[in-house]
Amino acid sequence: MAAVSVLRPDLLNEPAGPFVRGLEGRTVLDVGRRGKNVVLFFSADTVVVVNLGMTGRVLHRPLGDTTAAPTHPGVVLDLDGGGQAVYDDARRFGRLRRFDWLGWVRWSRTLGPEPLGRSFTARRLARDLGKSVSPVRSWLLDQRRVAGVGNIYANEALHRAGVHPSTPAKRVPPERVAPLHRAVRKVLRSAIQARGTTLRDYRDSDGRQGSFGPRLVVYGREDEACRKCRDTIARIVISNRSAFYCPTCQPELP
* Residues at the site binding DNA, with contacts judged by CB under 7 A: 10, 35-37, 51-55, 72, 90-93, 131-135, 138, 141, 143, 150-152, 169, 196-202, 210, 239-242
DSSP 104: H
Q: Which is nearer to DNA, 66 or 240 (CB)?
A: 240
Three-point CA angle 160, 146, 158, nearest 5°: 15
Q: How far is the CB of 6 from DNA (least distance, A)?
A: 16
Q: Which is nearer to DNA, 26 or 74 (CB)?
A: 74
Least Å distance between CB 107 and DNA?
9
Q: How wide is the angle at C-alpha 77 spanned by C-alphas 192 and 14, nearest 5°? A: 95
For the CB of residue 204, give the shortest distance to DNA in the complex, in Å. Answer: 10
Which residue lies nearer to DNA by CB, 45 or 222?
222
The neighbouring-strand residues paired with 38 are 33, 50
Closest distance between DNA and the C-beta of residue 135, in Å?
6
Question: Any bridge partners for residue 76, and if so which?
Answer: 5, 86
Shorter beta-carbon distance to DNA: residue 63 or 133: 133
Q: At what angle do helices 174-193 and 151-161 cross, to 10 degrees?
A: 130
The letter for the amino acid at 137 is R
- CB distance 44 to 128 below 8 Å: no
The residue (of 79 and 163) whose beta carbon lies closer to DNA is: 163
Residue whose C-alpha is closest to residue 132's, from 116, 114, 146, 118 = 146
Least distance to DNA, CB of residue 79, Å = 25
Nearest-CA neighbor of 197 among 180, 214, 184?
214
Task: Please state, in angstroms and rounded to a whole number, the distance separating the CA atoms of residues 158 and 166.
Answer: 10
**Residue 203 CA to its chain's centroid (Å):** 13
User: Least CB distance from residue 91 to DNA, whole Å?
Assistant: 3
Minimum CB distance to DNA, residue 185 (Å): 17
- 79 versus 216: smaller Cβ distance to DNA: 216
Q: Which of 90/122 has CB closer to DNA?
A: 90
Residue 68 CA: distances (Å) to CA of 59, 205, 209, 211: 6, 8, 11, 17
